[in-house]
Amino acid sequence: MATPSASATPRTRWASFVAAPIVAGMVGSGLVVAPLAVAQETPAAPAPAQEAPTQVSPAPESPARATPAPNPENAPDAPTLRVPTQLPSGVRLDRVEWKSANRVALWVQSPAMGQAIQVQLMLPATWNSEPDRTYPSLLLLDGLRARDDASGWTLETKISQFFDAKNAVIVLPVGGESSFYTDWVSDAKGDQYQWETFLMQELPPLLQRDWRVGDQHGVAGLSMGGTAAMMLAQRYPDYFQFAASYSGFLDTTSFGMPEAIKVAMQDAGGYPAENMWGPLGSARWQEQDPKLHAEKMREQSVYVSAGSGNTGPWDEPSGLPGIPTNFPGYGLELLSRMTTQTFVNRAREAGVQVTANFRPSGTHTWPYWQFEMTQAWPQYAAAVGIENVEEQCAPEGEIARLAEREPGLGPCLTNEYDVKGGKATDFRFGRVFWSQGTGANSVIGAIGAAYQAEDGPDGSLGLPTSGEKRTPDGTGRYSDFQNGVIYWSPTTGAHAVRGAIRAMWQDQGAERGDLGYPTTDEIANPNKPGVVQGFQGGTVYWSEETGPKIVKGAILKAYREAGAENSALGYPATDEIALSTRNGAFNRFQGGYIYWSRETGAHVVPRGPFFEAWGEEGYETGRLGYPTGPVRTTEEGQVLEFEGGTITVSGGQAEVS
């Protein structure tokens, strides 16, 4: 139940009012034990830490008709499940988009979810230098207000700079607002929330097959994600060696907790809690309660943490002793503290070894979760067999001299290693390549991500022959390679241009010409030999027979509606050609023509009887003028209408009327 900012808003102020009475009721009833006041560890920060309170005082009355706590002796058992090794039917990788040289977004088609789900991977330091190596994984889960564009971990923290020197694959699911990463029993506002099935049955075999994930795994999360991390670790004890919760809610069924979760989910997107696990406090809720199944974690390495809610090093004081201005974060962290302590008590009674860090201060906010992630790393590394020592590296020769001239590359992540045609060294913010023929050149930023998507030096671009350069218009950037170029602008992103398309584009002025910047990568046609690439000013189609040709505007729209190169029209055989008759235009294609004028729009004229009969009438300059619609099939035959008449083709013969 993550709080995105450090200030209270009307929308989230519910947290402090809901949390306080529930915490007081839980403590007063003896259902949870207040955490110890002494913290085991405190983050270094400019503000002094506050001692954690042992209770909330004064406390409002407990909410009426709150769900009673279940008897642990009668709680339903959580199933012990296994992760499949074979990819389930229907699971496929739909799209790959590189965000940087070491972060990639995957869109994985999920039969369980009924759509493609985005998952981002942070790749290990030695991903490129040791291409045959497999790595442990860490599934890192988001909070209640998880967004659909990226994980909060990449939006709100700097963990990418922490993990870039670590040798693990960090798995970041995107989306899942208010989901608790579980399988819902009913509708989630129109979505099929079957997150557990996706994360544990569909995704792991794909990551193992295609992304070099080995057989050692951990799961961690913040707030809602911390709750889910414990649930998943308990349900898949043979898969996970490590589990961590940062400010999670690890007691979901004690007095008032189902109601608190319901209020939170309603606030974060308007999701009905009963649609998640059925009636509040029911057997399904108990099956998902981390405190009731802690014994399943006896063979796992477990790390939990929570603050006290008091003003900490990353909070603003309110003027009240120990109370921060972040009222929602104060209330939520109190709730997390109490429920985490309950979990720890139960886990230790069951013989589970738990590292529990109860901090003397701190609210329910991102800086604390980033800190806890770094603190938990050594324990995760030990659990999955990573030597928790970053390898020493030092650039050499021309690569070292270039790194001195470009301090923005940051520290090195690898020593020099062999690549196709030369050498390379990876740095925090880019890679440097060297060969005898090209010298040393850096590839950074979005261009570096696009180069990685093109398989780097193993791909068709070859090695870089320049560093990143500014375009003459001052808007974009580009880097040259042995067999192409990658251009970037803020509105189009980074895309490679190569071969005959590049030669034609540069002859027309490159980004300063009518085509402008590339808007897509070069896409191969799976149905017939050829490629297509989008630009701001049109689309370029290439085949061995036709070479690169430009189609744009209304003609491009009509071409696509007709099926583009996969239709009877085939590839374009000319660029767009201007016509003197009413400033019209046309493109010739392998199987026909598309003519356009302002008055008539763009329409296909097939090769054969239609085009020949029209030609006999003088084409667009004759009495028929421009075509006004598509070819239609009637009882008389196929009909094509023009401004000045109609051509009907039947039995291969054309008739003009």
Using alpha carbons only, how large is the chain's radius of gyration in Å? 31
Q: What CA–CA distance (Å, rounded) separates 322 from 311?
A: 5
Q: What CA–CA distance (Å, rounded) separates 196 from 219?
A: 13
Q: Exactly one of 151, 223, 305, 479 is catalytic; which is it?
A: 223
Q: What CA–CA distance (Å, rounded) separates 181 from 185?
A: 13
333 is catalytic: yes
Q: What CA–CA distance (Å, rounded) separates 284 from 278?
A: 7
* Region for 74 from its dihedrals, namely left if φ exceeds 0, alpha if ψ lies in -120 to 50, beta otherwise: alpha
Three-class SS string for 469-519? EECCCCCCEEEEECCEEEEEECCCEEEEECHHHHHHHHHCCHHHCCCCCEC
Strands 585-589 and 592-597: antiparallel
Strands 169-173 and 115-122: antiparallel
250 phi and psi angles, rounded to 5 deg: -100, 15
Q: What CA–CA distance (Å, rounded) separates 64 from 409?
A: 59
Q: What CA–CA distance (Å, rounded) separates 144 from 125?
A: 30
Q: Residue 590's closest CA among 612, 572, 617?
A: 572
Q: Residue 481's closest CA among 455, 505, 504, 507?
A: 455
Place of tokens 């399943």: 296
Residue 131 CB burial class (10 angstroms; 0-12, 13-18, ≥19): exposed
Tokens of 498: 């190569």
Q: Exactly one of 217, 293, 364, 603 is catalytic; which is it?
A: 364
364 is catalytic: yes
**In the beta sheet, which residues pair with residue 641?**
646
**Cβ atoms of 361 and 308 closer than 8 Å:** yes
Q: What CA–CA distance (Å, rounded) separates 5 from 135?
A: 34
Q: Residue 548's closest CA among 528, 532, 567?
A: 532
Q: Which residues contact 389 (CB under 8 A, 6 or more apart)?
A: none
Q: Exactly one of 333, 406, 522, 641 is catalytic; which is it?
A: 333
Q: What CA–CA distance (Å, rounded) separates 97 from 109?
A: 15
**Cβ atoms of 469 and 478 closer than 8 Å:** yes
Three-class SS string for 32-63? CCCCCCCCCCCCCCCCCCCCCCCCCCCCCCCC
**Cβ atoms of 336 and 329 closer than 8 Å:** no
Tokens of 419: 């690549």
Q: What is the length of the chain?
A: 657
* Residues designated catalytic: 223, 333, 364
